[in-house]
Chains A and B, each alone.
Chain A
Amino acid sequence: MISPSIVAAIVTAAIQNGGPAWHSVVSNDGSWRVEWRLVENEKPVDLPTARKRFTVELRIAPLRDGALPVQAVIVDAQMPEHHHGMNVLPSIEVGDAGRARADGMLFHMTGRWEVDVDIDDGVTSERAQWDIGMY
């Protein structure tokens, strides 16, 4: 069964004419909208190539009034069925206006990957997550 987050990502992409596009998820407590896309060899892609480095680009926007600015972002990925994460540490840059990017991501095997984005506003760190099916 395809998870709801994958469906949402596919629908979002389809609305934007099917090409590699920005996808959108809401963080797990509803505080942030996170738009994301994958970039490989400096080109947006639907899926990364297994065992090749890629980038996750992020646009993070608050959904609640009075939100504090984003102070830090952690981007990571794991394979929940296999109880492991990536074999690499991505390099993360946080820019202005909620923009961030994680370079050096690497899915070293096929299967379901869960991408985790922890958004820290200086009080709590709230998670947004989505699945990427590498089949």
Chain B
Amino acid sequence: MSTTAGTGAARTAAGEEEGTAMPLPVATPSMRLRRAARWWPAAFGAALLLAPYSALPLPGLLDGPIGSAGNLQLLALCLVFGALATGYDLLLGRTGLLSFGHALYFAAGSYATNTIMVESGLSFAASAVLGVLAGTALAALLGSVSLRVGGIAFSMVTLAFAQAGSILVERDPGGATGGEEGRAVPAGRLPGALIGIQHTVNLYWISLAYLLVTLAAVTWAVRSPVGRVWEGIKENERRVEVTGLRPYGFKLVAFVLAGALAALGGVVHLLLTGGATPQTTTSDFTLSLLVMVVLGGSGSRWGPLIGGVLYTWADHRLGDLAGSGTVGGLPAVLRVPLSQPLFLLGTLFVAVVYLLPGGVVRLPERIRSAARRVPSHPTPSPSVPLREEPSP
């Protein structure tokens, strides 16, 4: 069912990655801009490396200097969710699987690590390894069941499993999960360098490392032979079957890899927030992952990361905005909806689905193609292969 919608986007994504192979025409200003823009990930990475040492304020974007503990915490959260969205896109954008239960594996990593650490008295490192293994095993088990159905039924089944996990966590069996309050990390068990507000920078580095691991794993997996089959499954599963391959196994690999990355993210999140919280198990949490991926641009290398960072930042800052005096002074018609970050995010999401198919990453391309239509450049140079819009 997704074949028609997916074809154009995937073609464009492939075009971007093989961009160097295209015959380059005489450099126009827009071409030079585009080539310069290719370096933005490097610039972004450098900015991330410098962030903890910067006392520069970003008025409007952040409260106070960038390097302050609170802002580093927020930035680290942004990175974790950016990475989580990148891992989730393995399913959504690369294999075409619309899973509504991805929060489960994130929460599994977080809760399993915490519970093992508290109950068995193992060190944090050993518990984290076991926690990630537990999350991965859960993904393998539930993935093998839910992948027996395809399409939308798969979405619903993953949603049901995630809901079961959410109920289980809330019921607090044997006092293992802490119910609605969640369960705090026992500070005595953690290495000293991970505790306390003065060590927030270490958590930031861990989040950055998690992001890099996720990006590397996703890029490597997508380029591997298995990744090619994923792309085929996304385009047309039946055709993959006809070539003699069984899509089930490949889909399961994608599901388990994404689950393992999510479980790892759960461990980082556990450190960042100082405890396992039941909010990470809810279906709303998975839906917010979906919003991140679609906002940034599904199926592209950087899109989910951008979406995750933007969403997390907006979620925190909109909460501040809702409580601020600026909104409080507005008439009721505006004040009431604006006081709900979720309303703003939901509306924004619908707007992105409509106005910006392909997400934020396709924004520069759209602006360029809009500029090309301006009469001052009546005909594009013929050697430029005109990319088709991903028209449905």
Partners in one complex: no
Chain A residues packing against B (C-beta within 8 Å): none
